Chain A
Amino acid sequence: MYRRTALLAAGAFALAAAGSAAAEITIATVNNGDMIRMQGYTDRFTDETGIEVEWVTLEENVLRQRVTTDITTRGGQFDIMTIGMYEAPIWGANGWLVPLDDLSDEYDVDDILPAMAGGLSHDGTLYAAPFYGESSMIMYRKDLMEAAGLEMPEAPSWSFVRHAAEAMTDRGRDINGICLRGKAGWGEGGAFITAMSNSFGARWFDLDWNAQFDTRPWADTLNFFVGMMNDSGPAGYATNGFNENLSLFQQGKCGMWIDATVAASFVTNPAESTVADKVGFALAPDNGLGKRSNWLWAWALAIPAGTKQEGDAKKFIEWATSKEYIKLVAENEGWANVPPGARTSLYRNPNYRRVPFARMTLDSILTADPNDSTLEPSPYVGIQFAAIPEFAGIATEVSQEFAEVYAGRQTVEEALEKAQDITNDAMEAAGYR
């Protein structure tokens, strides 16, 4: 009798425990200011929905390797993954991601900036919702520009930028006219030089997937970059990436810096930057050919196919990338700290338009088109990358060859010849040619 009662009680307890167990989702994400801020607000989501959230925060490259392994082996460790514009269309095409084609009406999917939605879709289907987006633009020192007797146009050309860089350079005071990425890596120096090459009329591949490094526009791009950086760039620029240039700029050692729009909030933050009140913004330069040298990127939230928590994951994505979330951050931390570059409505908001870099960020995003990034027709989607699985490996190798030029260890001609061979060999091995 006692045994039966005990069994019944245990069963009831187990049922009650199962019934009250909260749903839980695991999210893999990168370590940057906006993502960390979102983690701080997760309790609000849990309070609203009862869904617990576990965060796995990793460095960008580690995260990329980790989530790629997980999705290709169907490891099922994550219910939401933070992925970029490079992965979203490729993984979507492979059927690795859950299509986000049934988001609620309140979410207002049409409010996502068209450039972002386009870059995160495959065949018109959205596979990842942008949490924040970025382009690249010029950040420059207004005081140094004025002292040089120049005025920065809103949409400058490369020749103006080179001239201004020379005029602002003051080696005695340790001021470099321009700071740009030279560091090897497809997402570091590789991304910059690829975006820059678009404005010189270059492209990675012709329509038959043949490498194009033996063409004049690539030689012009690299010669211009090396000449300008040798004249007006910082010493050792071959190893400078985003962080190194951010550090130089914040310490007042750069006249101009062309990089991610997200850097604007760092360089204008008086707690971190010694030049916070002296920074102006302009569009990334062009060469009069109709293509600018700005890129487009988004960190977006996607659901891996096969997750058992698809419904809960969608609820989180709708919450984290909603207009309401932006409002929540603005109320608590000010409009300068909301995740930028994802929603059209943000740029219509008069409060946000008062943020110094808001308009230039939007203009930069709007002038970037991943589907039409090159002057001559190309077979790939993407601005600072070609959205094919082989690109990351190839571009890392090519950018290593370019970095050797920046370090003075080989000539532009040698690097381009090697880049041509590396790319053609890899594309042949992958069956494109």
Chain B
Amino acid sequence: MDFFTNAVLAVMTAGPLAAMLGSTLLGVLIGALPGLNPVMAIALLLPLTYSMDPLVALAMVAGIYNGSMYGGAIPAILLRIPGTPASIATTFDGFPMADRGEASKALKIACWSSAIGGIASALALMTIGPVLARVTLFFGPAEYFWIAMFGMASVGVMVGSDPVKGVMAAALGLLIGTMGIDSLSGQARFTFGQTWLLGGLDLIVVLVGLYALPPVLQLAEKCDLKGLSASELKLAGVPFAPGEIRRLVPTWLRSSLVGIAVGILPGAGGNIAAFLSYNAAKNASDDPDSFGKGNPQGVAAAECGNNADNAASMIPALTLGIPGNVVAALVLSALMIHGLQPGPQLFHQNPVLVGGFMIEMLLTSVLIFLVGGAAATRVFAQIQRLPGVLLVPAILVLMCVGVYVINGRPVDLWVMLAAGTAGYFLEKLNVPLAPIILGMILGPMAEQSVRRALLLSRGDPLELLTRPISATLAIATLGMILWPLVKAFRRRRG
């Protein structure tokens, strides 16, 4: 209990509280802008957190993550344009509701559902996280190697539409992660005689490029010169019918469970949680035909599901050091920026920080109730009146200032630009970007674990497979890689 008592005391101070409020507001704004997404926003934010207190930095990450997942519902409902990929399912019933003059009601349902999903997810993180951390204390280098491999395989296979390209992207990330001085042998690898490469490529520099430049170039391609007119934002208020809110409770419960389960699974993101929750609500409904035609249950399921994924995706990240999605990878980066090593030891070495972050995930979900109210939503919706072409240079400036302040080196700006341009074309060719970043994060851990395990076993590779947990993880990893092949083989035979 002391774990959370001390964390609450640390979070309930001016810095983290102000950071949570400000970043949740900012998150809703970012989510409300089609083309911008939470990953991009957190990637831009990370370089600024170097000089901040870690709890303040993590409060900002939590606020932007939870806020933007709700914010994405605003254009999804008003314009049928999902603000984030996770709000695609919200458009199915949100826009038909707005079209028949119930935009305000749909936004209110989205706001409450997001907050409830986020709270349920944070509670799952607070209960499951510490237990799992205790179990993982028994893991050795072989188990860590296989956990890293399993995380990479599942993310590579499940993210994107093409498993081969996903695994290929993961291998590229692992290879990039080997650049610089090898910490075990002192060998300089892939540095090409450049001293600035001795420390390897800076993760944040590559991350900002990969995740912020492609959306900027896509915004430029779309070339929105007008923004929206006031009349296009239909925000008339319609009151709830008696018992209408009570009927949403089972949907909230079901979607929270679906979202949490999806969040814990590496590779599956908020969009999958939203789709699964939406389908579950439709299957459980007495009137499934009304889904897609403006059923409030559809909005509640999608929004509750995508926010219930948020904190749950941090469970493997904080306990095992294995990020389940890109935002979790960004949280790990934020911890590493402050010299903290994610994994079970973190719970013992920095309990206030881990517990504090869990509480921040909870409080920023509660804040959605406050900042996502009807009046605030009207204000956030106005952001869509800004022409998209003006956002293009603004984001470029933020990218450059964020990257420059990390090391004060102009060469980092070129690395960011190269990574971003490569990311833009790779995305166009259906190569997912998340495995590249996860490879960069997990690569050093995987390499050190396998080499330590081999040193302990005096070079016997069987040691990697003979312990019960490592053998199970090895089989799970193999199964994860072979599953798409089996599916393809079955499809061909069928």
Q: A and B from one assembly?
A: no
Q: Which residues of A contact B (CB under 8 A)?
A: none
